[in-house]
A and B are shown apart, each in its own frame.
Chain A
Amino acid sequence: MSLLLLAPLFLLGLGTLVVPVIVHLIHRHKRESVPFPSLMFIQRIPYKDVRRQQLRHKLLFALRCLALILLALAFARPFLENPTEAAAADIAGREVVILLDRSHSMRFGDRWQRAVEQARARLDMLGPLDRATVVLFAETAEATGRSTTDGLSLKNAIERAEPTAGATRYGSALQLAGRILSESDQPEREVVFLTDFQRSGWDRVSDVRLPSGTTVTAVNLSEDETYNISLPFVSLRQEVLSGREWVSVTTRVVNGGERQVRELQVALILNGQELQSRTVTVDPLGSTAVTFSPVLLPEGVSRGAVTAGTDALPQDNTVVFVLSPSNSLSALILESSDARENQSLFLRRALEIGDRPSFRVDVRPLRQFRLSDLDGRAVLVLNDAPLPGGRAGQRIREFVENGGGLLVVLGERNGPQTWPANAVDLLPGVVGARVDLDRGPIALSTMEYGSPVFDVFSAPRSGDFSAAKFFRYRDLSVDDPQRVLARYSDGQVALAEKKVGDGIVLVWTSTADTYWNDLALQPVFLPFVHRMMRYLARYEEVRPFFIVGETLKLTRESPDKSLRALMDGGGDLVVEAPSGKRTIVQPGAGEQVVELTEQGFYEIRQVDGGEIQPTFVAVNIDPSESDLAQLDTEEFLGAVTPMGDEGSAGARARQLTVEEREHRQQLWWYLLIAAMLMLVAETAISNRLSRVAR
């Protein structure tokens, strides 16, 4: 910010400064001469011109000079150069919204301190009629209070604010600012962005625009050059070798700076103990993967971390995770007594391959089925075998209603005649006759990709079902099309589902071997079977870590065994955040949600310190926050400013002529008052000196 002059020629008035100089140097000598008897002695004294040129009454001289300078400046009509600040200093009756970025990236270096200083400075510039709101935003936006003229309360709110671990989302901040401005009756509106303009925080697709007539001021707090090492990713591969479970940890080290990073130490820490370290070199704006040797998985829940050096944003140099022994899904395949040879071979082999989750598969003839066989099972497969009647059938119904999964594979022996009439309600439709495709095989043509069974196949080249040929299938009439998950190319139902109680029933209308189709020979068969099993078992992986901003659901159906144990253990639970902040959870009150707002490990334990082991949830910074690449500020401002408005910073201020800006500021008035005060003081002092002289 600098000073401009509306009438700079008036500065020539500064030439009048010679007047006080002359007065103070010379004028005193030109007063009436004093008679003296003889200059005989005075003439003999060496006379120094310097002393003669000494200024007398320096205070008086300074006051006179200052008054003249102020007068010249006042007539030159000064005003502040910075258009936005000049406008901010003078425009009355504005509604100002200060958007203060408190996302994780604002922890970089001194960005947050500068942001707070800027916010305070903006509040200082508010006029008496201006109202302001401070909006703190990261993933969500939050106003510190209602729009107010009380700058002090806003400053206090800013002082209390701290950067969070959340990611930047400009959309929410813009929406809140737009709402505040829309509700305001102030004639002028201004939005001040105090942010680092992180590129990852702006979704260009979202069309959020500020109200028309809003002046947008952007204060970019980012640095020209940044250096940031981050670990945005960690992969955990658990496998059982020699009856013991091992885990391999792989991470990616990203160098966000433009300098090569040499000899960076990357360490693996498990339960607080550093187990391994690697030294890597990362190219500018590049990344490198670091894989640690497999380590034996300890029993129970383990807390792990990978760290890589430190920098101006140290939080993202660490990625944390939780390790727990793998959960395997148990499936029981029932065949009819006269089943074909190797009727369940393809199913069993497909399920034996999986490790996330791993499957324990038992194949058993229907007649050998015992009620206890369903204990601990996640999925039951009736592979071309009808639902048994009697207590066995009732047990299976209870199994499904209590959350178990049932896959019914229709075929030669599983038709309308064999399915018990009292169990028809378990099926999503009415099973009909066998359909022989004499005119040639058909294929699967329509899949419901929104279903968890097919969602992984939605992307191109993510599983080719069209190669499978179907020669026969059994007709299934489904009234509710919502239940149909796949159809053949002739439009008939291939796969349908029905929710029964807490469980799910899937009906596959062809065989699961190569008897009626060759799907089992296609590569897509294995993932298809796995997806069906995971869906039926409602399987969810225990996530090794969450991202800040996500929520943790505390339910009795949690895939985390240790968490389930705590929820089932009775009594209240306490969730303690890394900062020590505690939240009490009552498992009896149903599903509870805890928002994960901090990086690190959340500990979940019984309030009364019961016997059940506590568990941990790892939370990491959103990887996008580590990417400090900047937005094009002009592009951003253009995108958020209403159409037709000049959206760049200070656009409205630039529309004002210099005369208008000067007129609004009227600094000359203050200068004139100051000059008058100087002259009054000069008069008083001059009179006093004159009296003394007399």
Chain B
Amino acid sequence: MFGTRARSRAGARFIDPVILARMDNLELVARTVVDGFISGLHRSPYLGLSIDFAEHRPYMPGDDIRRIDWRVFGRTDRFYVKEFEADTNANFSVILDISRSMDFGEAGIRKLDYAKFLAASLTYLSSRQRDRVGLVTFDSEIVDIVPPSAKHLEVVLHTLERARSTRGGSLCEALRKIAEVFRRRSVIVLISDFYEEPSAMMSAVNALKQKGNDIIVFHVLDPAEINFPYDQPLNFEDLETGEQLAVVPDALREQYQTMLREHREMIGRMMGDNRVDYGFFDTSMPLDLALFKYLSNRQRMSRVR
């Protein structure tokens, strides 16, 4: 028992995103990430358990005998345990940027795939918390909408699975349209690479937040975008606009890194100022570790609040 648990922890924790990318099934990915993440957390992530009956299941040794449904025992002469459905008092939606800029990856996994894993994992996690889960994908327009529902896990995962980058993106405009879709307070996770002006983007995010939504922003970048590791003069092609530019990377690497760092810091600061949770992920970071870090931080912050 002890050994099985240890193996499970070692195998599940800090799973390389590249290995996850080799799995075809997003649900499997989500399970792998979330189960390992939960088992490694050493404490229950289940919050707000419901008392609504869900189903009966046969009694297994170790089950609390207080949960045995004696009525059923009286009718069937078998021990059944009552299962209760969790409380579904929260909507959880992922807003995923699938613009062309997300279709980039030099670390073995594209940003879009990483974002999908992240979205799937969070959706799966929320679903296990009995939240209603939904999904919105967008580029310059809204591409797909899966309204939040307790039964939409598979729909969400399927929608994520077939999401493809086909067009350039326009985060601000898309977010404004999405804000009109959400009529009920939700926990909204926005995943994007945020190639927008921080102020314009913030105003769009605020449009969501003003409707009482709890916004969580995940900023996903590839290590190549961060470190700019090119050394030869190259023609860079903007994935969104198709524009090409001859660049001598050595000459502008330092400036580029500085500007990107300032951009991230600006986004993080503006989000913090507007009480929006902000998390930064680079696609080389193990997914469960990223989730663990983020959720730990969020839990700590929520207590402070």
A residues near B, CB below 8 A?
28-45, 47-48, 51-52, 54, 56, 693
The verdict on A43 contacting B233 (CB below 8 Å), with A37-B239, A38-B101 known, is no
Cβ-neighbour of A36 out of B102, B111, B239, B252 (below 8 A): B239
Known: A38-B101, A42-B256. A33 touches B251 (CB 8 A): no
Q: Knowing A37-B111, A37-B193, A693-B232 touch, does A45 contact B101 (C-beta < 8 A)?
A: no
Chain A residues contacting B225 (CB-CB under 8 Å) are: 36-37
B240 adjacent to chain A (CB < 8 Å): yes
Residues of B within 8 A of A54 (CB): 248
Pairs A–B under 8 Å by Cβ, sample size 9: A33-B235, A34-B235, A37-B222, A37-B238, A38-B195, A39-B236, A42-B247, A42-B252, A45-B259
Q: Are A40 and B195 in contact (CB under 8 A)?
A: yes
Name which of A30, A38, A56 has the most chain B CB atoms within 10 A of its CB: A38
Contact in complex: A43, B101 (CB < 8 Å): no
A residues in contact with B104, CB < 8 Å? 35-37
Between A32, A37, A41, A51, the greatest number of chain B beta carbons within 10 A of the residue's beta carbon is seen for A37
Q: Which residue of A lies closest to B259 (CB)?
A: A41
Which of B233, B260, B263 counts the most chain A CB atoms within 10 A?
Answer: B233
Of A31, A32, A42, A693, which is within 8 A of B245 by CB?
A42
Q: Which parts of B225-284 form the interface with A (CB within 8 Å)?
A: 225, 230, 232-241, 243-248, 251-252, 255-256, 259-260, 263
Known A-B contacts A37-B193, A47-B252; A42 and B236 likewise in contact (beta carbons under 8 Å): yes
Task: Name the residue of chain B whose CB is nearest to the CB of A38.
Answer: B195
How long is the Cα–Cα vector from A16 to B259 in the complex, in angstroms?
A: 43
| A residues in contact with B252, CB < 8 Å | 42, 45, 47
A36: chain B residues within 8 A (beta carbon): 104, 225, 236-239
Main secondary structure of the interface of B (DSSP, over half): mixed
Q: With A51-B248, A51-B251 in contact, do A34 and B236 touch (Cβ < 8 Å)?
A: yes
Residue on A nearest B235 in the bound complex, by CB:
A33
Chain A residues near B246 (CB-CB < 8 A):
29, 52
B161 to chain A, nearest CB (A): 22
- Residue pairs across A and B with CB atoms within 8 Å: the count is 79
Q: Are B195 and A34 in contact (CB under 8 A)?
A: no
Query: Which listed residue (A31, A38, A44, A47) contacts B234, Cβ 8 A?
Result: A31
CB distance from B84 to the nearest CB of A (A): 46
**Nearest Cβ in chain A — how far from B8, in angstroms?**
36
**Minimum Cβ distance to chain A for residue B146 (Å):** 26
A39 to B234, CA, bound (A): 13
> Does the CB pair B263–A38 fall under 8 Å?
no
Given contacts A42-B245, A45-B255, contact A33 B236 (CB under 8 A): yes
Please name all residues of chain B whose beta carbon is closer than 8 Å to the beta carbon of A41 when the two chains form the complex: 256, 259-260, 263
Residue of B at shortest CB range from A43? B245
Within the complex, what minimum Cβ distance (angstroms) separates B225 from chain A? 6
Distance of A39 Cα from B247 Cα, bound (Å): 10
Nearest-neighbor residue (CB-CB) of B258 within chain A: A41
In the bound complex, residues from chain A placing their C-beta under 8 Å from that of B101 are 37-38
Tell me the minimal C-beta distance from A445 to chain B in angstroms.
Answer: 114
* Chain A residue nearest in CB terms to B260: A41
Closest residue of chain B to A29, judged by CB? Answer: B246
Instruction: Compute how far the CA of A530 lies from the CA of B239 in the bound complex, rounded to whole angstroms.
Output: 128
A28/B256 contact (C-beta < 8 A), A37-B111, A40-B195, A51-B251 known:
no
Distance (whole angstroms) from the CB of B152 to the closest CB of chain A? 30
Bound form: Cα–Cα A54–B247 in Å: 12
- Say whether, besides A45-B256, A51-B248, A35 and B240 are in contact (CB < 8 Å): no
For A32, list chain B residues within 8 Å (CB): 235
A30 to chain B: which residues have CB within 8 Å?
235
